[in-house]
Chain A
Amino acid sequence: MTTNNKELIVKKIENGTVIDHIPADKVFDVVRILGLISLEDEVLIGTNLESKKYGRKGIIKATNKFFDCEEIDKLAIIAPTATLITIKNYEVVEKKSLSIPKEIHKIVKCINPNCVTNVEEIDTQFNVVSEEPLTIQCHYCEKTMTNINFK
C-alpha cells in the first residue's frame, strides 16, 4: 500500500490481522458487522485506496485481533473478494483468500418473521443457492432471501 513516494499510507502492525481487497463500499459494513469498533487495540481503516484489481478498495488492520470461523464466514459473505492476512512480529504468517461458504451456520437471521428460528432457540442454518447475487435459503422455513441480516 504505497503512494508514489513509496510512503506507507496505512502503517504496519506488529501482531493481528489485515483484511485487504475489501470493496470500497463495504469497508464500514465489515467494521460494523465484525464489531471492530468495540476492539480495545488499534484498528486502522482505509478506504478508496487505489487497487489494480478492483479500482478502489478498502483495507483494515486490526492489532491483536485474530478472527474465528464464524467471523471469517461473515466476512466472506460481506466481502468475498477480501484477503485475510495474519501478521505475527511484523511478518505475514498466513494469507487466505475468502470464498462464500456453501452453508451458513448461526451468523445470519432468517428474514421470515414466521420462521421457527425466530421463536425457538435454534442455531440458524442456510444453504447458498446463488453467489451472484448472493441468495440463501433457510434450512428450516425454506424461504429464499437476498437480504442478509446478520445476528
Chain B
Amino acid sequence: MTNLKGKNLISITDYTKEDYLTVLDLAEKFEKNPNQPVLSDKVVGSLFFEPSTRTRLSFETAANRLGARVIGFSNTAATSLTKGESLHDTIMMVSSYVDIIVMRHHKDGASRYASEVSPVPLINAGDGSNQHPTQCMLDLYSIRKTQGTLDNLQIAMVGDLKYGRTVHSLVQAMSNFGAEFHFVSPESLAMPDNVKAYANNAGLKYHEYRKLEDVIPFADIIYMTRIQKERFPDVLEYEKVKDSYILNASLLNGCKDNMKVLHPLPRVNEISMDVDKTKYAYYFQQAKNGMFVRQALIASILGYADQIK
C-alpha cells in the first residue's frame, strides 16, 4: 500500500502500478461501505469549466458520502471567468478556500498547470482531449472486479481510438499488467503511433483489426467507445465512419463466458439496447464504480486512507 497523501492525479502515468492497486483496494472498501464521513472538516472545490454529468455528480457524491462539503461551479457562465479572470487567478483564489480541487477544463494541459499553481492537491477530472485519469482508474477497477485480476488479459478496444482519451490512458495503465491489446477501428480512427509505441516499449503485443467480429471470440474485455462527432473537423468524414461498429446481442454469440462489455458513456448507438439485458453488459455498473474510486482517491490524497473500514 502506497501513501498518496498530497499527490496530485493529473495524468494516469503520474501514479505507479502500486498506487493504482492502493486506490483499487480502498475503492473496494467503499463499495462495501459507501458512507464513511471521515472528511467532515474538509471542503472540496469542484471546478467544472466545461459541462459534465457523470463525472461531476460522481465526484460530488463521492465527497458527500465522505462527509466533506463541496463548493464550486458546473459551468463558467456565473463566474469571474466571464470578466476575463485567468485560470491562474481562479485557482489561487479557490485554493485558499478548499482542501482539495477537482477540476475539469476544456483546454489540454489546464489541470497540470493548475496543479502547479495550487498549494492544495488537485485531481484532474478531464482536460480537453488530453487525460481523464479517474475514468481510467474506474476502468481498472471494473476490469479487476469482473475478471478477478488485471494480469495478462485480452483487451479489445473498439471505435474511435484516435481521439478517444480513455483508450489511450487505458493502454498506458494496462501496460503495467501484461495485457494483450486488440485495436478495432476504421483506418481513419486508428490508435495513434505514440500510444502503440507505449505498448511496444512495455513489451506488450497489440493487433489491429477493421472488423469487430474478429475479436469477440477471445476478448476478456470489449471496451466500446463513441465516435465523437465534435472531434471531426469535417462532418462528412464523421458521416463516413459514425456507424462503423454497432455491438448487438447476436454478435456476442460465441464470446468467452467471462467477457464483459465496458463503455465510458455516454453511448449513442454503438451498443444496442439488447446488449443491456445480457450478462456481458457492465457499463452502468462501471459508471457506478466511478464513485467508489473517486471516494478512494479523495480520501487517500487528503491522507485519510487508514481511517477507511
Contact = CB atoms under 8 A, between A and B. Distances in A.
A and B interact: yes
Interface of A: 112, 114-117, 119-122, 138-144
B108 to A, nearest CB: 4
Nearest to B87: A120
B253 interface: no
Contact of B112 (A112, A121, A140, A143): A140
Nearest to B112: A140
Contact of A112 (B87, B106, B108): B108
A139 B127 CA distance: 13
Contacts, number: 50
Given A114-B129, A120-B86, A120-B87, A139 B108 contact: no
Contacts of B110: 116, 140
29 contacts: A112-B108, A114-B106, A114-B107, A114-B129, A115-B108, A116-B107, A116-B108, A116-B109, A116-B113, A116-B127, A117-B109, A117-B113, A119-B107, A120-B88, A120-B113, A121-B86, A121-B88, A138-B109, A139-B109, A139-B112, A140-B109, A140-B110, A140-B112, A141-B107, A142-B108, A142-B130, A142-B131, A143-B108, A144-B194
B95 interface: no
Interface residues of B, number: 18
A115 B87 CA distance: 13
A116 B87 contact: yes
Nearest to B86: A120
B113 A114 contact: no
A144 B108 CA distance: 13
A141 B88 contact: no
B87 A141 contact: no
A115 B86 contact: no
Centre residue among A121, A141, A143 by max chain B CB count within 10 A: A141
A100 B110 CA distance: 27
Interface in B109-150: 109-110, 112-113, 127-131
A127 to B, nearest CB: 12
Nearest to A110: B109
B266 to A, nearest CB: 21
A142 B113 contact: no
A117 B86 CA distance: 12
Contacts of B129: 114
Given A122-B113, A140-B112, A114 B11 contact: no
Given A121-B86, A142-B109, 6 more contacts: A114-B128, A116-B105, A120-B88, A121-B88, A139-B112, A144-B194
Given A120-B87, A142-B130, A144-B194, A115 B112 contact: no
B108 A140 contact: yes
Nearest to A138: B109
A115 B128 CA distance: 9
Contacts of A115: 107-109
Contacts of A116: 87, 105, 107-110, 112-113, 127
Contacts of A142: 11, 108-109, 130-131
A146 to B, nearest CB: 11
Contacts of B194: 144
Contacts of A119: 107
B108 A114 contact: yes
A81 to B, nearest CB: 26
Contacts of A117: 109, 113
A139 B130 CA distance: 12
Contacts of B128: 114, 141
The 3 closest A-B pairs by CB, nearest first: A140-B109, A141-B108, A141-B109
B93 to A, nearest CB: 15
Contacts of A114: 106-108, 128-129
A139 to B, nearest CB: 7
A114 B233 CA distance: 14
Contacts of A121: 86, 88
A148 B16 CA distance: 31
Contacts of A120: 86-88, 113
